[in-house]
Amino acid sequence: LIPSFIDFSNTSMPFFIIYVLSVRKSFSTYDSNIFSKISSESAFLPAEYFVISASKLSLPPLNCSLMATLSAGKESTCNAVDLACFSFEVHLIKIPYPHSSCPILCNPMDCSPNRLLCPWDFPGKNTREASESLKFEDENRVIYLFFENRNNVFIFLNFLFRTGVIFAILLICVDMALIIKDIIFFSGTIYISLESRLISLAIALFFFMDISLRVFIEGIQLYFSDIFNSLDAAIIIVTLLVDITYLFYDFTLTKIFPRLRIILQPVRLVILIRVFHLAHQKRHLEMLTRRMVSGNKRRYKKDGFDLDLTYVTERIIAMSFPSSGKQSFYRNPIKEVVRFLDTKHPNHYQVYNLCSERAYDPKYFHHRVHRYLIDDHNVPSLSEMVAFSMEVKEWMARDKDNVIVVHCKGGKGRTGTMVCAYLLASEIFATAEDSLYYFGERRTDKSTSSKFQGIETPSQNRFVEYFAMVKNIYNLTLPPIKKLTIRKIMIYSIHGVGKGNGHDLKLQIIMQRKTVFFCSASKNCRIFHDAETDRVIILLSNCPPLYDEVKVKFFSSSALPKYYDNCAFFFWFHMSFIQNNRLYLSRSELDNPHKTKAWKTYSPEFAVEVYFDDI
């Protein structure tokens, strides 16, 4: 959208770069005059860039129609991007082009130049539909820290809070009585009882630990940006130092410190206020711990809500498991999720629970809950992906206000797999790569961390690619059944993996949730180690016919790290897409070895190759 009063020729002015839409797509739904204007006056830029030049641009909030009046073209020029407002001082911002088919646009919900969204291409949609598709309702600026052992951290925090507040209030009452006694009845006596010193030290240590954890969670800069937090920390630290000094030193030779203590006694009354403040911080502490657990996943932090919940599109919501009981302290509380949905989308939402390992009473969501039983870090069947996509398409077609809410445990892997399937089925995206990239961008809040929060496991990525073929080749019907048996499996670069010769490995084949084959060095297979080529050859005997979704798991009697699925490594594939009776999977395509922390065990050349026989 290019307002006509912006001077493109004045290139000496500060400017910012904004992506309007993918340059490799057709411009048939947009005004060609705009693009000719851009191309003629910004020819020095790469094709992906469009430049808007201005020193300062300050406009009141504008709707699409008003923008159209200011624009050089027709109304269609603004429908593609419904910018809510321009109101900021323009700076030079270098934005790397993220993806060939996933451009970046300004967030219509924000006015600052650093707030960006990554929308999708719109094949087959008119500009009004494209515009409507860009209305998101989430908050990007959430500051929180990701911990590897985040659940344990929270359990400690939660225990500390629940017991600590009660403990602190009791100690404060005792300590205040001692302080008042010291102030009223102080007679210059230097001696202070050990009990009094220990009580004061316990209180000071408790609050010092509380401050330390808050600084650790929120960050030093953010925490101390609040003047009251700084004052709070100063009082606690001074009190702690005085109490430590009183505990370990004998003051029979000096009168300075007792007098200092009397001076500080009124100051320490401030701590009593802090206890009541902490009692009101329960909700805040819960929010912080939920942010720790969710990591840098994009959260909805608006209108009184703070949930691990993302609008993938305006009609697709991805979130973590809605929990109750103890888990609600570090995951989405189910009652808050219900309140959110009943407030934002009353009578127009449908929930999809993709967890096989946990459930909840569907009455919470007015019995609008559908379940697909998918194991954690594993894949749905293609038939489930097709059924889900068709069901969602039907639900969306009933009413333009209908939305879906999809979750697994963390709202990433299984959720992303199914959401990407629908994005492909509804033709929002044409390729698996684009849908995977888009989901990851929407689920990840890069303002807090660069950790990727999209679909991580290789098998889940592979099944999204399978589904793209089901959509594009088979028109959302399942491919013809192909039955094969596994003849041999070759493992490359085996050195350093367990014993390094493959004799510690065991193999399990799972099909339709049942173990159909198991082998080890002494049963159903022969294992050969070729030291010269650093590979292992496993020849299988009596392998049954395999078809549809197949899972191969490798166990080791050695101390190999176990990450997902309690095994050394595993992978899923679909038999109908096996070509030339061969499947080769590199380290990055195998579940568990794909993880960065596993690379010290699995070399870059580590790979598995499976050879099949026709029946």
3-state secondary structure of 189: coil
2.60.40, 1.10.30, 3.30.70, 1.20.120: which CATH number matches 150-283?
1.20.120
Report the pLDDT value the prediction gives residue 105, as an integer from 0 to 100. 36
pLDDT tens sequence across 476-520: 999 999 999 999 999 999 999 999 999 999 999 999 999 999 999
pLDDT tens sequence across 62-86: 333 333 333 333 333 333 333 333 3
2.60.40.1110, 2.170.190.11, 3.90.170.10, 3.40.50.720: which CATH number matches 484-614?
2.60.40.1110
3-state secondary structure 551-614: EEEEEECCCCCCCCCCCCEEEEEEHHHCECCEEEEEHHHCECCCCHHHCCCCCCCCEEEEEEEE
3-state secondary structure of 506: strand
Do the Cβ atoms of 560 and 554 come closer than 8 Å? no
% of the chain at pLDDT higher than 70: 57
Q: State the Cα angle at 569 between 450 and 519, rounded to 5°.
A: 170
% of the chain at pLDDT higher than 90: 44
Please tell me the CATH code under which domain 297-472 is placed. 3.90.190.10
> Which of the four pLDDT bands, split at 50, 70 and 90, describes residue 444?
confident
Pairing label, strands 369-374, 349-355: parallel
Range scoring the smallest mean pLDDT among 122-126, 378-382, 423-427, 466-470: 122-126
Q: Name 488's bridge partners.
A: 539, 611
Average pLDDT, the chain: 72
Report the pLDDT value the prediction gives residue 556, as an integer from 0 to 100. 93
Please check the confidence at residue 258 and state whether its pLDDT lies above 70.
no
Q: What is the DSSP letter of 615?
A: -
Domain layout of the chain by residue ranges:
15-132, 150-283, 297-472, 484-614
Greater confidence (603 vs 137) lies with 603
Please check the confidence at residue 109 and state whether its pLDDT lies above 70.
no
Range scoring the smallest mean pLDDT among 32-36, 521-525, 542-546: 32-36
Query: H helices of 399-431, where?
Result: 413-425
User: Is 408 one of the catalytic residues?
Assistant: yes
What's the pTM value of the predicted model, to 2 decimals? 0.59
Region 199-203 average pLDDT: 72
**Which of 102, 70, 75, 104 lies closest to 85 in space, CA to CA?**
70
> Which of the four pLDDT bands, split at 50, 70 and 90, describes residue 412?
very high
Q: Name 584's bridge partners.
A: 609
Greater confidence (137 vs 258) lies with 258
Greater confidence (603 vs 119) lies with 603
Q: At what angle do helices 194-218 and 150-185 cross, to 10 degrees?
A: 140
Greater confidence (217 vs 534) lies with 534
Q: How many CB atoms lie within 10 A of CB 248?
A: 9
Range scoring the smallest mean pLDDT among 190-194, 328-332, 547-551, 591-595: 190-194
Region 17-26 average pLDDT: 32
Please check the confidence at residue 162 and state whether its pLDDT lies above 70.
no
Range scoring the smallest mean pLDDT among 41-45, 142-146, 558-562, 603-607: 142-146
- Of the candidates 64, 78, 355, 408, the residue annotated as catalytic is 408
Q: How many CB atoms lie within 10 A of CB 348?
A: 16
Q: Distance of CA 466 to CAs 100, 518, 578, Å?
A: 21, 26, 11
Report the pLDDT value the prediction gives residue 155, as an integer from 0 to 100. 53
